[in-house]
Amino acid sequence: MGRNKLRVLAVSGAALLTLSSAASAAPSKKPTGPAPAVRSSGKGVKAPDAYGVAASTRISVLSYAFQGNEPLNDVIADDGDSYRGFTSNTSLGFSASVSIPAGATITGIGFDNCDNTVTGTMNMTLYDRFGDHEVNIVASGDSSTASGCGFNDYVLETSYDVDTNEDHVFEIFISQNIVDPTLKFRSAYVTYLRRVHPGPVAPTFNDVPTSDFGFQYVEALVAAGITGGTGGGNFSPDGNVTRRQMAIFIAKALGLHWPN
């Protein structure tokens, strides 16, 4: 499926682009200055939820979770197959929240849409809203015109780290520039990787200093309540692990076991 017109903006760490509340999403005000993006090879493939720092997780949001930006005036059509689009020339914008865990690194965005128009296009923007009307643009991408139905999977050239969820709300904004029955979308999604916290300034255990190659991983287990060490302020990093201890580590890490 040919999708060739793309704009993506990704900002990370201290280089975040901070906007005022006036920059809240509007169909006529798309983010400017994006870098070229890289198309994903797995178009439309739902990545499985996975533990670990190497496997990606994709959070998908169906079109029915989105609300028009002018709910009292917007007229939205539903084709019966979960595709939705505007039939009124009002806000032309949909919004929905998406839950991204703290410690995640956002690596991609995408959406599933249809476009058989000559001049029409749809845009997806992911916002990180926080504080008093502050917002960071995480990424933004456009679909191409007259390209039929399919998935637009885009990889951020610069990933976006989520260090905390306190006072942060992630918003997906979908907009279209014209009213046309063939211009519609079915879902939007965010792809991320997990990270291990770098650890505190001072070590918890005497025998696992900050210079130890396992420091951040041991400290992550401590912070998560998975281990308390071997006593006497030590962790015994080179000691053997019994099957009992292994069971405790795994059960605590996964939150096992609660029956349905």
Same domain for 162 and 231, yes or no, is no
Do 156 and 139 form a contact (C-beta atoms < 8 A)? yes
Of 177, 194, 211, the residue that ends a domain is 194
Same domain for 184 and 246, yes or no, is no
Do 37 and 66 form a contact (C-beta atoms < 8 A)? no
Residue 117 lies in a domain: yes
Per-residue pLDDT in tens (0 to 9) along the chain, 260 residues: 444 333 343 433 333 333 333 333 333 333 333 333 333 434 444 444 556 777 889 999 999 999 999 988 899 999 989 999 999 988 999 999 999 988 899 999 999 999 988 888 899 999 999 988 999 999 998 887 657 898 988 889 899 999 888 889 999 999 999 999 989 999 999 999 999 989 999 999 999 999 999 999 999 999 999 999 999 999 999 999 999 999 999 999 888 877 76
Residue 55 lies in a domain: yes
Residue 149 lies in a domain: yes
pLDDT of amino acid 159: 94
Q: What is the CATH number of the domain that holds 108?
A: 2.60.120.260
Joined tokens for residue 4: 């060739």
Residue 41 lies in a domain: yes
Residue 3 lies in a domain: no
pTM: predicted TM-score of the whole model, two decimal places:
0.73
Same domain for 75 and 177, yes or no, is yes
Same domain for 93 and 210, yes or no, is no
Joined tokens for residue 89: 């020339």
Q: In sequence order, which residues have a C-beta less than 8 Å from that of residue 182 and are 6 or more positions away?
A: 114, 115, 116, 117, 120
Joined tokens for residue 74: 């917007």
Q: How many domains does the chain have?
A: 2
Same domain for 67 and 127, yes or no, is yes
Centroid of chain to Cα 197: 18
- Domain span holding position 202: 198-260
Same domain for 112 and 232, yes or no, is no
Local structure of 77: helix, strand or coil = strand
Residue 4 lies in a domain: no
The position carrying tokens 């995480």 is 138
Local structure of 254: helix, strand or coil = helix
Same domain for 111 and 204, yes or no, is no
Beta strands in 101-260 (DSSP E): 104-115, 122-130, 134-142, 148-162, 168-176, 184-194
Residue 7 lies in a domain: no
Same domain for 235 and 167, yes or no, is no
Same domain for 157 and 185, yes or no, is yes
Same domain for 148 and 203, yes or no, is no
CA within 13 Å, CB half, 215: 15
Closest C-alpha among 44, 65, 70, 46 to residue 56:
46
